[in-house]
């Protein structure tokens, strides 16, 4: 092979990585980041659904309306309350479940499979079955409530209970996932250390705090981050259970966005909701990023 | 000490029992509701145990729901999305696993971003874009939208698997001037089949379960996947509940089976990226 041939081959080699990375990146640019940028632009326009490609630039008009609208603040509050409670309850229950089935016992694999049902069932199917269980007249929950003398509840149509009901379904879906992540992490706890703690007479709670928790903390943090992100993203369950109602008591930003766009036909206004959602998502990502950097530092020490 | 130990053990089993009931009951109830007659559900009262003798009624009632067509559409959406996201995801995964190049950090950042951004944020611009390119009300458009979110996950899973393949295995092929693309397809991919299967399951069921895009982009009832079709019963007066939940069960079973099969693989792929929401 001639020297020049080799050289041109080496010259080509510099471009090889791009031959691999460009197709997927171009794909994401076209179908993810360009739309995202466009949604940011649309939030400054008065675009309506009749002609989605032609909206007039109106500056901060949408945001001025948004920040005067009590429905927006309610939606922001619902999103935050829903997210925080989902994370706290979901992670706690997932952690408890993981610790409960960590040690071997008879029928463990069956129990493990059943505990994962909520995570494995598609969101729409989960919504349908819970809708039926929440049914005011014929649902099992009210039948049991009546049987024990509590009377009927408006699980999904009363502002007192709707968010709690949606939360219950969400926790049913996410706690199994947390359990799965924590179970995997629990396998990394060295058996000798646990045994040693036991022999030293440590009670289960202090063993957990001193030995187990440090091992599974990164996994719990990761699970908490994912549950946070998913709670901000979640649409199907909330939309199908309550449609954001009653009186907006379950209308998260995502539900509100979709309704503003495709029921209110105001795409520009919906994009303004989206802009707020993006800020929220970026905030969560930034918190995760900082936490991750600190963890890396700790580990390298 | 002994009685205390016994008490802890009893409490632990009690806790497990409660968890199993809470976690499993909704799925059990889905199955038994499907096996109730509508006259029982709305009239005389639901029977709490499985009435297997009602199975023929359920089958004939399912005939009133176009669940076959819906599942077929679901299958097309899920399979199309899987092929696309595995193809693009293995290219990206290989590039990230084997090469150093300018902008690698940015690629990682973009991939991470896709996992944080809510789907709803690109709903409106995609809608506008699909109108322009005639992709609205088409399964192709829906697949293209879905893959934006499943591709990064496939990439994370596959990159993780490729990182575990020693470089020596492909070294001799590279010295022999074998094109890198062939190295990927002939040497690397056959070695990471279990991870490809896991990535395929995740991508497939992302498409299978998807609801937001499908309910927005597909107007034609004949194109609806099962998620949109089943959701269309919500809010109807006196829904034929046994048929709807029977269909929902049929729709759920593949997801349950495959997610239970790959549960451990999913967690392994998690250290690098989000998987199923």
CB of B157 within 8 Å of any CB in chain A? no
Chain B CB contacts of A75 under 8 Å are none
Note whether B255 contacts A122, CB cutoff 8 Å: yes
pLDDT of residue B270: 60
CB B86 within 8 A of CB B199: yes
- Nearest CA among A297, A298, A274, A299 for reference residue A79: A274
**Least Cα separation, residue A277 to chain B (angstroms):** 7
Out of B99, B181, B227, whose CB is closest to A124? B227
- In tens digits, what is the pLDDT along chain A, a chain of 301 residues? 334 444 445 566 778 899 999 999 999 999 999 999 999 999 999 988 888 888 889 989 899 999 999 999 999 999 999 999 999 999 999 999 999 998 888 899 999 999 999 999 999 999 999 999 999 888 899 989 988 988 889 899 999 999 999 999 999 999 999 999 999 888 877 777 777 777 777 777 787 888 888 888 888 988 999 899 999 999 999 999 999 889 999 999 999 999 999 998 999 999 999 999 999 999 988 888 787 778 777 766 5
Measured N-to-C along each axis, helices B193-209 and B67-98 cross at an angle, to the nearest 10 degrees, of 140
Chain A CB contacts of B242 under 8 Å are none
Picking from B47, B77, B124 by the largest number of A CB atoms within 10 A of its own CB, the best residue to mutate is B124
Does A38 reside within a domain? no
**Least Cα separation, residue A232 to chain B (angstroms):** 7
From the CB of residue A190, how many other CB atoms can be counted at a distance below 10 Å?
A: 10
Picking from B23, B97, B184 by the largest number of A CB atoms within 10 A of its own CB, the best residue to mutate is B23
Measured N-to-C along each axis, helices A140-147 and A123-134 cross at an angle, to the nearest 10 degrees, of 30
- In tens digits, what is the pLDDT along chain B, a chain of 277 residues? 578 888 888 998 999 999 999 999 999 999 999 988 887 888 777 888 888 888 888 888 888 889 999 999 999 999 999 999 999 999 999 999 998 998 888 898 888 888 889 999 999 999 999 999 999 999 999 999 999 999 999 998 899 889 888 888 888 888 888 888 888 988 899 999 988 998 999 999 999 999 999 999 999 999 999 999 999 998 777 778 888 999 999 999 999 999 998 887 777 666 544 444 3
- Nearest CA among B267, B111, B249 for reference residue A122: B249
> CB-based burial of residue B28 (10 Å sphere; 0-12 exposed, 13-18 middle, 19+ buried)?
middle
**Least Cα separation, residue B124 to chain A (angstroms):** 7
Does A25 reside within a domain? no
pLDDT digits (tens, 9 = 90+) for A273-290: 999 999 999 998 888 878
Q: Which residue has the tokens 């995760």?
A: A288
Does A16 reside within a domain? no
In angstroms, rounded to a whole number, what is the distance separating the alpha carbons of residues B98 and B164?
Answer: 11
- Beta carbon pairs, A and B, within 8 Å: 267
Which CATH number do you get for residue A251?
Answer: 1.10.3720.10
- Nearest CA among A229, A280, A239 for reference residue A259: A239
**HSE-up of residue B19 (Cα within 13 Å, Cβ side):** 29
Picking from A16, A46, A117, A169 by the largest number of B CB atoms within 10 A of its own CB, the best residue to mutate is A117
Domain that includes residue A166, residue range:
57-300
pLDDT of residue A9: 52
Chain B CB contacts of A267 under 8 Å are 124, 127-128
Q: Which helix (H) or strand (E) is A65 found in, with range?
A: helix A61-68
pLDDT of residue A218: 84
Does A8 reside within a domain? no
Picking from B73, B117, B245 by the largest number of A CB atoms within 10 A of its own CB, the best residue to mutate is B117
pLDDT digits (tens, 9 = 90+) for A202-221: 777 787 888 888 888 888 98
Does A50 reside within a domain? no
Note whether B23 contacts A23, CB cutoff 8 Å: no
Segments of A163-262 assigned E as strands: none
Out of A17, A33, A121, whose CB is closest to B110? A33
Note whether A125 contacts B230, CB cutoff 8 Å: yes
Segments of A54-212 assigned E as strands: none
Does A181 reside within a domain? yes
What's the ipTM? 0.91
In angstroms, rounded to a whole number, what is the distance separating the alpha carbons of residues A156 and A144?
Answer: 17
Q: So where are chain B's domains?
A: 67-271
What's the CATH superfamily of B67-271? Answer: MetI-like (1.10.3720.10)
Chain B CB contacts of A270 under 8 Å are 124
Q: How many domains does chain A have?
A: 1
> Chain B window 8-67: which residues touch A at a Cβ cutoff of 8 Å?
8, 12-13, 15-16, 19-20, 22-24, 26-27, 29-30, 33, 41-42, 45-46, 48
């Amino acid at each position: 092979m001639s020297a020049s041939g080799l050289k041109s081959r080496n010259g080509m080699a510099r471009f090889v990585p791009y031959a691999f990375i460009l197709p997927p990146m171009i794909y994401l640019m076209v179908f993810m980041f360009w739309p995202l940028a466009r949604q940011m632009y649309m939030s400054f326009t008065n675009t309506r659904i009749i002609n989605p490609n032609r909206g007039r630039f109106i500056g901060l008009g949408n945001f001025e309306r948004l920040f005067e609208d009590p429905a927006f603040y309610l939606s922001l509050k619902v999103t935050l309350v829903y997210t925080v409670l989902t994370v706290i309850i979901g992670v706690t229950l997932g952690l408890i479940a993981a610790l409960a089935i960590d040690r071997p016992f008879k029928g463990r694999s069956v129990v493990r499979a059943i505990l994962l049902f909520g995570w494995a069932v598609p969101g729409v199917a989960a919504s349908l079955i819970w809708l039926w269980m929440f049914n005011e007249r014929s649902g099992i929950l009210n039948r049991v409530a009546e049987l024990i003398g509590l009377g009927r509840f408006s699980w999904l149509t009363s502002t007192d209970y709707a968010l709690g009901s949606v939360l219950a379904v969400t926790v049913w879906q996410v706690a199994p996932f947390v359990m799965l992540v924590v179970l995997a992490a629990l396998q990394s706890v060295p058996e000798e250390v646990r045994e040693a703690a036991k022999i030293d007479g440590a009670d289960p709670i202090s063993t957990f705090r001193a030995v187990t928790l440090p091992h599974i903390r990164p996994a719990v943090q990761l699970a908490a981050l994912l549950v946070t992100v998913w709670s901000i993203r979640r649409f199907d369950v909330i939309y199908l259970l309550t449609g954001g109602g009653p009186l907006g008591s379950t209308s998260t930003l995502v539900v509100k966005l979709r309704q503003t766009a495709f029921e209110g036909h105001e795409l520009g206004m919906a994009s303004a909701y989206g802009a707020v959602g993006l800020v929220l998502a970026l905030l969560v990502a930034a918190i995760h990023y900082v936490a991750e950097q600190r963890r890396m530092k700790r580990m390298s020490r | 000490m002994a009685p205390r130990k016994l008490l802890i053990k009893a409490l632990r089993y009690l806790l497990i029992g409660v968890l199993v009931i809470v976690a499993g009951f909704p799925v059990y109830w889905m199955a038994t509701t499907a096996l109730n007659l509508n006259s029982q559900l709305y009239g005389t009262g639901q029977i709490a145990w499985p009435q297997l003798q009602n199975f023929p009624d359920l089958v004939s009632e399912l005939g009133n729901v176009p669940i076959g067509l819906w599942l077929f559409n679901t299958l097309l959406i899920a399979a199309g999305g899987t092929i696309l996201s595995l193809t693009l995801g293995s290219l990206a995964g290989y590039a990230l696993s084997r090469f150093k190049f300018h902008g690698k950090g940015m690629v990682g950042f973009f991939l991470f971003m896709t996992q944080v951004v809510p789907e709803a944020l690109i709903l409106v611009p995609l809608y506008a874009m699909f109108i322009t390119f005639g992709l609205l009300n088409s399964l192709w458009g829906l697949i293209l939208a879905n893959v934006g979110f499943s591709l990064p996950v496939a990439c994370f899973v596959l990159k993780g698997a490729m990182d575990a393949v020693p470089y020596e295995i492909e070294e001799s092929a590279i010295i022999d001037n074998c094109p890198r693309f062939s190295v990927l397809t002939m040497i690397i991919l056959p070695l990471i089949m279990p991870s490809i299967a896991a990535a395929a399951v995740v991508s497939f069921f992302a498409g299978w379960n998807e609801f937001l895009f499908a309910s927005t982009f597909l107007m034609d009832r004949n194109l609806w996947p099962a998620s949109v079709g089943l959701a269309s019963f919500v809010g109807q007066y006196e829904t034929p509940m046994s048929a709807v939940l029977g269909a929902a069960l049929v729709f759920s079973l593949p997801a349950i089976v495959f997610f239970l099969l790959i549960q451990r693989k999913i967690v392994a792929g998690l250290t690098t990226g989000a998987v199923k929401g």
